[in-house]
A = this chain, B = another copy of it.
Amino acid sequence: MSPGVVSRVFNADANLRIRDETRQRVLAAAEELSYTPNHAARALRRARVGVLGLAVHDVSNPIYSEIVAGVQRAATEAGYTLMLADADALASDDASFRNLIGSRLIDGLLLQRAGNNADAMVAKIASGRLCTILLNDRTRGPLSSVALDDETAARLATEHLIGLGHSRIGHLAVDGPRSRSQARVRGWRSALRAAGMAEEPELLAGGGHTIEAGFEGMRQLLRSEIRPTAVFAGNALSAVGAATALRQAGLSIPGDISLIGFHDLPFAAHLTPPLTTVRLPLRAMGSRAVELLLEQLDGSAARHEIVRSPAPELIERGSCAPPGRVGRAP
């Protein structure tokens, strides 16, 4: 039996004419020897490895975990395996960068850009020939991107606070206090303006995307002249840190200050008080990114897309209440 026939049986080649008896013989022998095609040889021959790369900034961040889950599912469905890389290591270690990007270890890359040298990194990748999708990013550039409708979600959160009667609504911005043009800040601002409220610069602080940064950001808000009665945190983890800062200041949530988080993660319901959040389709974004990547591997052009479905949704729990009134007991 020649290897060529075996190969075509395995790949269900439609152009192969073969006696059924022979096919059975091949299959039986494969079973007997528990034969599995060698990945490297196959990848070498067809110029395609069947592996997608996913580089995220911090694997242990639960927000990324959600994205990873979506990516994982879509990739598996499409018959691809997923390779996880550390975006920071990629940015700093040039050897591992070249190994991942240039060696055709993967067919395409999903990149969650983050950190300071993100731009430099994007440039480096764009100059290469590896098909890449930027995750959770709405940059207009040579690289495709998939993002969420952060602005709508931020507006939703802010409007909820406005609806409760708040008028001094702070915001912990993920990209620092000076990032006045980012989507979440825009959503927050547009909701304030629509309600006829002035935007106080002191009500905008940096909250980062970590517990610690949220803690610091909230402390800064509390030190400001006009103390907010409600705070919209631009990130789920920073909301956790913010809550701790409030508790340390002896303030109750939502009695003294209402708090709303961004991204609805599993533990949000288990904070004290349970955290009201806006939920965004993180998993869907992950899946969609894979679809886009696969399309692009087939030659379609770069594209910038925003995943709006399922739509951002307000998840009411116990961390928001009208101002100046004690909310329900914890």
Q: Is the CB of A103 within 8 A of B39?
A: yes
**How far is B103's CA from A67's CA once the two chains are assembled, in angstroms?**
28
**How far is B96's CA from A211's CA once the two chains are assembled, in angstroms?**
37
Known: A41-B44, A81-B99, A105-B39. A59 touches B69 (CB 8 A): yes
Interface size class of A (residues with CB under 8 A): 35 or more
Q: Which of B41, B59, B81 contacts A83 (CB 8 A)?
A: B81
Known: A82-B84, A83-B83. A272 touches B330 (CB 8 A): yes
Per-residue B-contact encoding for A47-74, CB less than 8 Å = 1, 0 else = 0010100000001101001101100100
User: Which secondary structure dominates chain A's binding surface?
Assistant: helix
Which residues in window 24-58 of A have CB below 8 A to B?
34, 36-44, 49, 51
Which residues in window 236-252 of A have CB below 8 A to B?
240-241, 243-244, 247
Known: A38-B44, A270-B241. A247 touches B103 (CB 8 A): no
Q: Chain B residues near A65 (CB, 8 Å)? A: 59-60, 62, 65
**How far is B96's CA from A72's CA once the two chains are assembled, in angstroms?**
13
Query: Residue of B at shortest CB range from A283?
Result: B60
Q: Chain B residues near A104 (CB, 8 Å)? A: 38-40
Q: Chain B residues near A36 (CB, 8 Å)? A: 98-99, 101-103
**How far is B247's CA from A180's CA once the two chains are assembled, in angstroms?**
39
**How far is B244's CA from A74's CA once the two chains are assembled, in angstroms?**
33
How many copies of the shown chain assemble into the complex? 2
Query: Residue of B at shortest CB range from A65?
Result: B60
**How far is B101's CA from A76's CA once the two chains are assembled, in angstroms?**
15
Closest CB in chain B relative to A235 CB, distance in Å: 13
**How far is B74's CA from A86's CA once the two chains are assembled, in angstroms?**
13
Query: Residue of B at shortest CB range from A72?
Result: B86
Q: Is the CB of A103 within 8 A of B37?
A: yes
Q: Chain B residues near A267 (CB, 8 Å)? A: 211, 240, 267
Q: For the complex, is A21 an interface residue (Cβ under 8 Å from B)?
A: no
Q: Which of B38, B62, B82 contacts A60 (CB 8 A)?
A: B62
Query: Residue of B at shortest CB range from A100?
Result: B81
Q: For the complex, is A157 an interface residue (Cβ under 8 Å from B)?
A: no
A40-B49, A59-B65 provided; 16 other pairs, C-beta below 8 A?
Answer: A36-B98, A39-B40, A39-B99, A39-B105, A51-B83, A59-B72, A60-B65, A60-B69, A76-B86, A76-B89, A81-B83, A81-B96, A240-B267, A247-B272, A270-B271, A271-B271
30 pairs from A and B in contact (CB 8 Å cutoff): A34-B102, A36-B103, A38-B44, A39-B40, A39-B99, A39-B103, A39-B104, A39-B105, A40-B43, A40-B44, A44-B44, A51-B83, A59-B68, A59-B69, A60-B66, A60-B68, A60-B69, A62-B62, A76-B86, A81-B100, A82-B85, A211-B267, A240-B267, A240-B270, A243-B270, A244-B269, A244-B270, A247-B330, A270-B271, A271-B272
Chain A to chain B: the 6 pairs with minimum beta-carbon distance, closest first: A36-B102, A60-B65, A272-B272, A40-B43, A84-B84, A40-B44
